[in-house]
Amino acid sequence: MCKKLNKFRYYTNINILKIDKNIPKIIHQIAPIDIKKWHPLWKECQETWKLKFPRPEYKYKLWNDEEDLENLIKNDFPFFLKIYKKYSRKIQRIDMARYFILYKYGGIYIDMDFYCYKNFYDKLNKEKLNITCSPFIDIYKCEFLQNSLMASHKNNFIFLNIIDEAIRRHSQSALLDDDISKITGPELISDIYYKLQSFFNPLNRKLYNPILCKDYDNEELYNKNTCYCKHFGTGKWNK
């Protein structure tokens, strides 16, 4: 398993000068294939990304949260398939799949409950992993970043570090008391950031991830004239 991961690292290292560090114009989202399982806000949010990042300049890819993700791991990253299947909760598989998606394809990943106000492609740092800051940093000191919005060129070695650390933490998951955030989510990403800060571009939470608005449009919590998008926080991440 680790030998195969090392092959990916080796490939990245010897081809570092060949890597195209432009961020592909692809919008990635993950959702159940059955729309009846979607939160009522998701469809409205989804349409805003298609509107602000329109075809044909941008491609849009909606990943089925079961077959599509498992096939991605099985076909392109088989070294991780055993761990992927062992995760006890779907959100852990979705967490990890988004890292593999961006490693292989590059582009912009956004959770289904993000509403987009304006295109921010030109604001991204094309050479780094762009990732939103958490709106909860003042509450949860260990959660500086969130994996709900990320943008990167493909073959970004940062994802190899994330994957490697996720493998290590999976082997210690009993010690972590099934802490999803620390095993596959925001705390995992944040810990990697603290080690490799110069390769990240944290996105201002006030502009990209204002405090969760839940199921209502509380404009006291954000300014739609200045922010690029907002996060409703509808996902049941602990399922």
pTM here is: 0.89
Relative to beta strand 145-152, strand 129-133 is antiparallel
What is the arithmetic mean of pLDDT over 100-122?
97
Q: What is the pLDDT of residue 235?
A: 72
Distances (CA, A) of 232 to 77, 187, 219: 32, 20, 12
Cα-Cα-Cα-Cα dihedral sign, residues 135, 140, 141, 145: negative
Task: Please say if the pLDDT value at position 238 is more than 60.
Answer: no
What is the arithmetic mean of pLDDT over 101-109?
98
What is the arithmetic mean of pLDDT over 211-229?
68
Contact 34, 68 (CB under 8 A): no
- Report the alpha-carbon distance of residue 183 to residue 179 in Å, rounded: 6
Task: Please say if the pLDDT value at position 114 is more than 50.
Answer: yes
Q: What is the pLDDT of residue 99?
A: 98
- Tens of pLDDT, residue by residue over 52-96, are 999 999 999 999 999 999 999 999 999 999 999 999 899 999 999
Burial environment of residue 117 by CB neighbours within 10 A (0 to 12, 13 to 18, 19 or more): middle
- Tens of pLDDT, residue by residue over 175-215, are 554 688 999 999 999 999 999 999 999 999 999 998 765 54
Contact 158, 188 (CB under 8 A): no
CATH number for the domain running over 2-12+23-231: 3.90.550
Q: What is the pLDDT of residue 92?
A: 94
The dihedrals phi and psi of 152, each to the nearest 5 degrees, come to: -160, 155
Q: Mean pLDDT highest for which of 27-36, 138-147, 176-185, 209-218?
A: 27-36
Q: Which amino acid is at 110?
A: I
Domains in the chain: boundaries: 2-12+23-231
What is the arithmetic mean of pLDDT over 86-113?
96
Q: What is the pLDDT of residue 21?
A: 81
Task: Please say if the pLDDT value at position 137 is more than 50.
Answer: yes
Task: For the sheet with 129-133, list strands across it.
Answer: 59-64, 26-31, 107-110, 145-152, 129-133, 200-203
pLDDT band at 116 (very low <50, low <70, confident <90, very high): very high
Q: What is the pLDDT of residue 17?
A: 46
The dihedrals phi and psi of 116, each to the nearest 5 degrees, come to: -100, 130
